[in-house]
Chain A
């Protein structure tokens, strides 16, 4: 009887756990644990509710125009988040376009290529990159990247297309391109750390099998290692995207705070998060509610992206 119960209800340790809980039941303690869980659950609900309820007047008044409106003017309206959503997605795409190849290359280099003695140091350096507060990246972007952009990168890119799309417009530094570059640096540690974890669990048999068939090291990396880790790598990319979509202060400092649908990568812009940061302080009346509506949009986007990322990395068996 005991045996069948074990078979049908999970591993021996889980059964032991249940027996333990029933045998040495310790009501005040269980009450404390569950009470804490309930309390924090309530805090989460209040958190979501605070955003939803503040956004409600704006959602009720402007309905779908909040999502599709092409113009955002704080203070007087109209409150159309389309430019902000576009800029949020565009900066994230730029960040991913830079950080994904560099991040994957770094993860492969850390795992297989650089000398064994340097690997721990390399990992620590990448983690250090993650420990720098975002306001410092914003400051660095203002002082170092803007001169580099205006003097070197923007003229170079403009010369590629003859100053036409997507590199048209004045070379001011402040731009969605700059925000994308800063974001790329900020999400790089996330992408490196997680893709490193998921690549590390690719079975050695597969790698050795590839090498023994006569494939070169690069062929094994490209055709064996990356494909077998692709679910986890997608998860790593999604986590990086989640960070980029919601990053606030660094973007607010370098994007130029100008809500418009970008006509080139050199356009100034404003993301959902950066607009909340820069406008919330002097928001009155409807603007406050409209900004909360932006927060709600941002919450829905980032929560979905993060949930997707968790599912992917879980499936890949990485410990995040």
Chain B
């Protein structure tokens, strides 16, 4: 019996398998240990990634809260002088300027972007695909390029820096973001809803307005608020085109102040009081930005709940 077994020809596959099993068994302790170390390193790296966020939030609260007061929020800035170095005044007009510029940019961008989203979602054509690709690339372009654009077409033509130039730059910045978000939202509307509307004899414009737009509203609103939040924090394009202002100015054809730009200017100021106040301006800005981005989530979640 044993004689016949030894006479069998060697089985290379079996030998190879036994060899692999032997090695795997020999190395399992080491491999498990290495694996544990590696996984710990990964989690540590993730925690490390959150350290800057914690530090930024801590800094904003610690350094920002001390400069913020009701006076800071609603009065005009004053220029500190050597005799009154701490007389920095408030940021009221910068809040006002930021809200006006962002709001007007939104008013211009939203209708264009939503129609563009409908076009991208509803017309399967080569032109639409091309436009979609261009729009996606635009969302990744540096915002300062739009500053150059607004400078050429608004500042040069009007021969003056103006809030309007900032509005134009931010509007062009917002359109691709909102259009992309609305296209996704429109595509997410079940085809049966459209077909039901059309089967009732409605024109496609009526279906878009009465069925698709309401059904896609949470997605559209999320996109709008997120782009408003992103545009609110943009400094680079405003730096090139809106100039500066230290008074209440409700006319976008004139120079305006804005929170991100004021943060930038204060951060490089020669007065320590202004450099410290940069944190107060930054905190004001971050609160508005967070309000918009959290608001977008809440509204979208609420609308989804109501529907179901």
Contact = CB atoms under 8 A, between A and B. Distances in A.
B213 interface: no
Contact of B119 (A36, A131, A188): A36
Contact of A129 (B53, B152, B278, B285): B53
A142 B148 contact: no
B144 interface: yes
From B59, B60, B140, B208, residue with most partner A Cβ within 10 Å = B140
A33 B122 contact: yes
Given A139-B278, A298-B145, A32 B115 contact: yes
A304 B128 CA distance: 20
Interface in B122-148: 122-124, 127-128, 131, 133-138, 140-148
Given A122-B46, A135-B282, A218 B39 contact: yes
A132 B56 contact: yes
B148 A28 contact: no
B116 A139 contact: no
A102 interface: yes
Contacts of A105: 41-42, 45-46, 49
B137 to A, nearest CB: 5
Nearest to A298: B142
B116 A51 contact: no
Contacts of B146: 47
B71 interface: no
A108 interface: yes
Interface string B229-266: 10011111001100000000000000000001001100
Nearest to B171: A43
Contacts of B267: 135, 138-139, 142, 253
Interface in B179-216: 179, 184, 191, 194-195, 198, 202-205, 208
Interface string A247-272: 11100010000000000000000000
Contacts of A207: none
A142 B120 CA distance: 43
B52 interface: yes
Interface residues of A, number: 93
A165 B277 CA distance: 38
Nearest to A311: B133
A211 to B, nearest CB: 11
B234 A133 contact: yes
Interface in B89-128: 112, 115-116, 118-120, 122-124, 127-128
A262 to B, nearest CB: 21
B14 interface: no
Given A105-B46, A295-B144, A26 B39 contact: no
A268 B151 CA distance: 29
A239 interface: yes
Given A24-B203, A47-B172, A248-B142, A135 B263 contact: yes
Given A51-B148, A106-B46, A140-B59, A242 B35 contact: no
A289 to B, nearest CB: 11
B43 interface: yes
A41 B55 CA distance: 42
Contact of B140 (A32, A50, A134, A306): A306
Nearest to A306: B140
B53 A214 contact: no
A133 B260 contact: yes
A249 B236 contact: yes
A295 B208 CA distance: 40
Task: List the 9 closest A-B pairs by CB distance, nearest first.
Answer: A133-B233, A246-B142, A29-B205, A105-B45, A306-B140, A216-B35, A218-B35, A109-B46, A218-B38
Interface of B: 24, 28, 31-32, 34-35, 38-39, 41-43, 45-46, 48-50, 52-53, 55-56, 59-60, 63, 112, 115-116, 118-120, 122-124, 127-128, 131, 133-138, 140-149, 151-153, 172, 175, 179, 184, 191, 194-195, 198, 202-205, 208, 229, 232-236, 239-240, 260, 263-264, 267-268, 278-279, 282, 285-286, 289-290, 293
Given A51-B149, A125-B53, A221-B42, 16 more contacts: A24-B203, A30-B204, A41-B131, A46-B149, A54-B148, A102-B45, A109-B45, A131-B289, A133-B233, A138-B267, A140-B59, A185-B52, A192-B49, A249-B264, A298-B145, A309-B140
Interface of A: 13-14, 16-18, 20-21, 24-26, 28-30, 32-34, 36-37, 39-41, 43-44, 46-47, 50-51, 53-54, 101-103, 105-106, 108-110, 113-114, 122, 125-126, 128-129, 131-140, 142-144, 185, 188, 192, 214, 216-219, 221-222, 239, 242-243, 245-249, 253, 273, 276-277, 280-281, 292, 295, 298-299, 302-303, 305-307, 309-310, 319
13 contacts: A14-B124, A20-B204, A36-B119, A44-B134, A105-B42, A135-B267, A139-B282, A143-B279, A249-B264, A253-B264, A276-B144, A280-B240, A319-B184
